[in-house]
Amino acid sequence: MSNDPYSLAGEAAAALKAAAGLDTFDVALVMGSGWVPAADAIGRTVAEIPFTDLPGFSAPAVAGHGGRVRVVRTDAGRHALVLLGRSHLYEGHAVGSVVHGVRTAAAAGVRTVVLTNAAGGLRPETQQVGDPVLISDHINMTGVNPITGTTFLDLTEVYSKRLRELVQGVDPSLAEGVYVAFRGPTYETPAEIRMLRTLGGDLIGMSTVLEAIAAREAGLEVLGISLVTNPAAGLAGDPLDHEEVLEVGRATATRMGVLLAKVVDRL
């Protein structure tokens, strides 16, 4: 097994193709905390491979992450890679491991990736718990970057405007927002939330941003969708709880699945 992250992604892609009996895939979706039940609505499962059977993947340690790659055939005949879970910096993984799934999808032929997550809402005056929000931009507060060296990547449009407009054509009620990523695993303090609101953030979480950067490096078109699972720290008065995140995901799984199914068939 190679130590080079790009070669390792190629090895994982080859193993994935062999397990699925397919030469290429059309789209990849990374399912965040609480989003796993929504995967059932995307299409018919062709194959399902545990992360641990693929080079470079680790079993996720977070509740609500399935730890498998599902190969799905949509109603329109597209083949989608659905990553049921992801790795995070706060689990102790290196940044290369965090973006390995996205790089594997790119090596498998995918040209579009949909990144989903559970997020705290920084704007409770306009956001409701259970609302999906399209990510229009991000602020990287993780302190790391998946790209090293002298590769200078333009990030003017990380999250595709074309794809956001496509989704809003499916559901015009969806708002857009700026996603802020912290390393975790601690939730943010009320002071940090006040800072992020001042900086222009609308959503707060612990994933997605590094994957989006790696996807853009690979030339993929990126769609990001956050599910608001709670008001951010200090905005509601209640302590934050991961079980609450999962519960909101379960309660909205059907709506999210229907939305994703419609979007994937239009990509």
SS3 call for 30: strand
Residue written as token pair 């290429």: 24
Residue 136: which residues within 8 A CB-CB, separation 6 or more?
Answer: 159, 164, 176, 177, 178
Q: Which helix (H) or strand (E) holds 205?
A: strand 203-205
95 and 145 in contact (C-beta within 8 Å)? Answer: yes
> Which token pair is 62?
């977070």
d(CA 135, CA 56): 28
Task: Please identify which of the residues 91, 157, 188, 221 carries the catalytic annotation.
Answer: 188
Q: Which residues, listed in sequence order, are joined to residue 112 by a DSSP beta bridge?
A: 27, 221
Q: Whose structure tokens read 């699945």?
A: 257
d(CA 173, CA 191): 31
Distance CA 59, CA 22 (A): 24
Q: What six digits make up the tokens of 96?
A: 């290369």
Rounded Cα gap, residues 58 and 50, in angstroms: 9
Instruction: Classify residue 103 by its DSSP letter.
Output: H
Reply yes or no on whether 188 is catalytic: yes
Q: Check: CB of residue 185 under 8 Å from CB of residue 206.
A: yes
Catalytic site residues? 188
